């Protein structure tokens, strides 16, 4: 019988204050995303549905499937695999809008995909996570050991994503000038708060990160690569213009890892493999996304 991996049993130390900080960051992120939504974005999607549907397919079908393929090949510890399934099930992150604009992609499509994927995630994220984790025996067994109540996950994701989005849309409709000014402040502020949470997580569990960061880095590198590749190939095979291909690539490669961390610390007690790989994803996808966007900025 194989020896259990320590990542499957350790728990990261965190306080309720840390978790509150992360929830605040997520609420500000989603509120900021909704502040950018305009009726023009809805009209754009009606006139150009192909890019939108391919973007949703890339995020919620292609990425989870390719994640399952990758996990089946490399066979990481079950807790790490569970974290990878969770990241793949999360919607796109708001930083994707900035990166898409920087890369000279389709910003209207990016904002629409981020917002709509966040709404869809209320239902799709828990379903995708349970579905794909159930297809891989080690994670399926781990989920049964944890006794995860998927209905509670639905409720939490709905509260975290749904309420800030609704409030943001109402704010933009009632006070568009305030929404424009608030968006410029909230985006960097929410990113700083999220970064502060990650730093606190690293500081409170520094020895664990040092011990496992080498192998975690390789897993995240491979996972993020297939996420970017999934977006790129979906756009290319779908015959989309370059601006839309850039957008879908970035939208699929930038995941809302903050949502993943909230779920990990709420329902999995900071399970080591899940938390470390999700936290590192939150750092690495900014590096890879900025690199890809910088290269594409030169290509019109």
How does pLDDT run across 79-101, given as a tens digit for each residue? 999 999 999 999 887 788 888 88
pLDDT at 241: 93
pLDDT at 57: 95
Assign 3-class secondary structure to the chain: CCCCCHHHCCECCCCHHHHHHHHHHHHHHHHHHHHCCCHHHHHHHHHCHHHHHHHHHHHHHHHHHHHHHHHHHHCCCHHHHHHHHHHHHCCECCHHHHHHHHCCCCHHHHHHHHHHHHHHHHHHHHHHHHHHHHHCHHHHHHHHHHCCCHHHHHHHHHHHHHHHHHHHHHHHHHCHHHHHHHHHHHHHHHHHHHHHHHHHHHHHCHHHHHHHHHHHHHHHHHHHHHHHHHHHHHHHHCCCCHHHHHHHHHHHHCECHHHHHHHHHHHCCCEHHHHHHHHHHHHHHHHHHHHHHHHHHCCC
pLDDT at 299: 67
Spans in the chain with pLDDT lower than 50? 1
pTM above 0.85, yes or no: yes
Map out the domains of the chain as residue ranges. Answer: 7-294
pLDDT at 1: 40
pLDDT at 221: 94
Q: Which CATH class is domain 7-294?
A: mainly alpha
pLDDT at 212: 78
pLDDT at 4: 64
Q: How far apart are CA 208 and CA 12, in angstroms?
A: 9
């Amino acid at each position: 019988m194989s020896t259990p991996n320590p990542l499957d049993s350790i728990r990261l130390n965190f306080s309720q204050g840390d978790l509150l900080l992360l929830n605040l960051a997520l609420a500000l992120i989603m509120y900021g995303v909704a502040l950018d939504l305009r009726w023009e974005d809805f009209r754009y999607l009606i006139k150009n549905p192909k890019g939108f549907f391919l973007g949703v397919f890339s995020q919620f079908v292609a990425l989870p499937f390719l994640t399952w393929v990758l996990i089946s090949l490399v066979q990481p510890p079950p807790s790490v695999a569970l974290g990878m399934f969770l990241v793949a099930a999360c919607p796109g992150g708001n930083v994707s809008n900035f990166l898409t604009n920087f890369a000279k992609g389709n910003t209207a499509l990016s904002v629409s995909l981020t917002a709509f994927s966040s709404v869809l995630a209320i239902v799709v994220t828990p379903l995708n996570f349970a579905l794909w984790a159930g297809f891989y025996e080690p994670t399926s067994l781990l989920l049964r050991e944890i006794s995860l109540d998927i209905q509670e996950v639905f409720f939490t994701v709905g509260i975290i994503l749904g309420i800030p989005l609704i409030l943001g849309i109402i704010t933009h409709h009632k006070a568009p000038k305030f929404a424009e000014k608030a968006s410029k402040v909230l985006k960097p502020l929410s990113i700083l708060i999220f970064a502060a949470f990650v730093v606190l997580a690293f500081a409170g569990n520094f020895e664990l990160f040092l011990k496992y960061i080498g192998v975690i880095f390789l897993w995240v590198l491979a996972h993020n690569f297939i996420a970017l590749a999934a977006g790129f190939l979906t756009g290319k095979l779908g015959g989309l213009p370059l601006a839309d291909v850039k957008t879908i690539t970035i939208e699929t490669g930038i995941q809302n890892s903050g949502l993943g961390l909230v779920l990990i610390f709420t329902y999995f007690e900071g399970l080591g493999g899940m938390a470390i790989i999700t936290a590192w994803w939150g750092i690495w996808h900014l590096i890879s996304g900025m690199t890809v966007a910088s290269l594409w900025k030169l290509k019109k």
